[in-house]
């Protein structure tokens, strides 16, 4: 059969898609563009209403065109009825069941075009087939290692916690074996991903297997090979209990000095309504400690604009926070209510206010980012070659994960070079190669 795998959402979803693509190939099927496919596998995301609606439209269109449809990812766990309303014949794979996509394809090959009676679905209670399995990576130099599924907290706006359930951390030995395999396959960047990396291992403490994130990082960095580690998103409340041990673990040349810490709002009142488990001062404390340890730290954060009950004063606190802390990247989301969350029944902010606040915050973020980036023109230092650039040359990363494209560079990923940053674009810096490895 001819199969197309479409994926939406976070890096964990991308990792699941890479696993499914390999299974499709190993089962003898062809991976093809959507227009040529007999079977469409849709790996869904339901964090935002707009994404959900786009996916439901694709599900309906695929049904109308006569394609077989397999839906997996977060949506089947929380919006199965919505999926089946768009396509009553859609086959379903639960969030833990992506490794079973081959079984569905085998069944489709035997039975032909499905029917309502023959619709298939597989839901597993425990995750299966996420570690040390074949993949077709979207980038052959980057390996996405999933540390866990689920979350032990319940932010009032978050549907992902409902979809993915309670925290289930993979064993450290499984993770180390997975990364060793990836490095042996030529991967030079390891992305650690989960719903909240800071929670890693906290669900295993009562079993005596209490390897938490800092110790896991030390174990990963001890793996031989030329590679770098990008630690994904961590919530302030999950970092606080491990903060100083985590700082020590980050102090390794293999770990990018990148902190992705979503504050979501700088108003304690809004944070309480969000059920965020941290104050803004606690988040600030984490950032200050990282910055005091690592002068060149790159800071990513997330802010939700217009959460129910957010006043103009609350919003101005977030604006002032951005101006003070000057994050390198801010993921700004206009709040949209999600079903089966605590905030579903809250009184929503007027859409015109949402638009105005979002536009203002985007403007402030662009301004602070532009000023910060311009200060780096003329910087000289070492960079790690990560992957081929989209247009020409090589994409490199500074120790703090800043992207530097070197147009006249054809060295293999995994090499460290010295560059001069001579210009900047909205998405990356431009660098001139100053020296090859081993040169004085």
3-state secondary structure 287-346: HHHHHHHCCCCEEEEEEEECCCCCCHHHHHHHHHHHHHHCCCEEEEEECCCCCCCHHHHC
Which CATH fold would you assign to the domain 380-435? OB fold (Dihydrolipoamide Acetyltransferase, E2P) (2.40.50)
Q: How far apart are the first and last CA of the chain?
A: 56
Residue 190 makes CB contacts below 8 A (sequence gap 6+) with: 142, 143, 145, 179, 182, 183, 220, 227, 228, 229, 230
More confident residue, 410 or 341: 341
Place of tokens 């795998």: 5
| pLDDT score of 111 | 65
CATH number for the domain running over 142-374: 3.80.30.20
State how far the alpha carbon of 155 is from the alpha carbons of 52, 160, 304, in Å: 20, 10, 12
CATH 3.30.1600.10 at 2-122, yes or no? no
pLDDT tens across 341-357, in order? 999 999 999 999 999 99
Per-residue pLDDT at 117 exceeds 50: no
Element (H, E) at 236: helix 236-239
Average pLDDT along the chain: 93
Strands (DSSP E) contained in 221-265 are: 228-231, 258-260
pTM over 0.75? The answer is yes
> What is the pLDDT confidence band of residue 410, given thresholds at 50, 70 and 90?
confident
Is pLDDT above 50 for 116? no
Domain ranges of the chain: 2-122, 142-374, 380-435
Instruction: Give the pLDDT confidence score for residue 113 in this predicted structure.
Output: 52
Residue pair 120/100 in contact (Cβ under 8 Å)? The answer is: no
By the 8 A CB rule, do 391 and 338 touch?
no
**What token pair was written down for 127?**
């995750």
């Amino acid at each position: 059969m001819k199969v197309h795998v479409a994926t939406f959402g976070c890096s964990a979803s991308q990792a699941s898609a890479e696993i499914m693509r390999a299974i499709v190939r190993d089962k003898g099927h062809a991976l093809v563009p959507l227009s040529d496919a007999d079977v469409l596998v849709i790996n869904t995301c339901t964090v935002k209403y707009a994404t959900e609606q786009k996916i439901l439209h694709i599900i309906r269109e695929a049904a109308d065109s006569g394609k077989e449809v397999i839906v997996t990812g977060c949506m089947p766990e929380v919006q199965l009825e919505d999926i089946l309303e768009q396509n009553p014949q859609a086959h379903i794979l639960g969030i833990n069941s992506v490794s079973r996509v081959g079984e569905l394809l085998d069944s489709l090959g035997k039975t032909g075009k499905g029917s309502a009676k023959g619709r298939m679905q597989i839901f597993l209670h425990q995750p299966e087939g996420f570690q040390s399995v074949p993949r077709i990576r979207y980038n052959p130099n980057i390996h996405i290692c999933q540390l866990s599924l689920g979350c032990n907290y319940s932010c009032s706006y978050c549907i992902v916690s409902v979809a993915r359930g309670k925290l289930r951390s993979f064993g450290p030995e499984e993770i180390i074996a997975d990364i060793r395999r990836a490095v042996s396959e030529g991967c030079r960047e390891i992305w650690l991903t989960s719903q909240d990396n800071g929670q890693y291992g906290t669900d295993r403490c009562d079993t005596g297997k209490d390897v938490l994130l800092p110790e896991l990082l030390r174990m990963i960095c001890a793996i031989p090979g030329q590679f770098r580690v990008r630690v994904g998103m961590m919530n302030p409340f999950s970092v606080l209990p491990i903060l100083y041990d985590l700082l020590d673990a980050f102090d390794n040349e293999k770990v990018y000095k990148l902190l992705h810490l979503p504050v979501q709002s700088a108003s304690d009142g809004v944070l309480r309504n969000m059920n965020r488990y941290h104050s803004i001062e606690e988040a600030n404390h984490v950032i200050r400690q990282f910055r005091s340890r690592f002068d060149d730290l790159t800071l990513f954060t997330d802010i939700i604009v217009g959460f129910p009950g957010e006043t103009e004063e609350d919003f101005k606190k977030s604006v002032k926070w951005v101006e003070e802390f000057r994050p390198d990247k801010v993921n700004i989301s206009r709040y949209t209510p999600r079903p089966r969350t605590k905030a579903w029944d809250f009184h929503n902010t007027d859409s015109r206010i949402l638009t105005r606040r979002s536009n203002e915050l985007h403007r402030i973020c662009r301004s602070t980012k532009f000023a910060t980036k311009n200060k780096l023109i003329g910087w000289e230092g070492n960079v790690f070659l990560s992957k081929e650039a989209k247009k020409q040359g090589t994409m490199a990363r500074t120790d703090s994960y800043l992207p530097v494209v070197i147009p006249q560079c054809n060295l293999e990923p995994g090499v460290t070079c010295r560059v001069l940053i001579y210009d900047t674009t909205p998405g990356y810096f431009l660098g001139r190669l100053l020296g090859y490895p081993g040169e004085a």
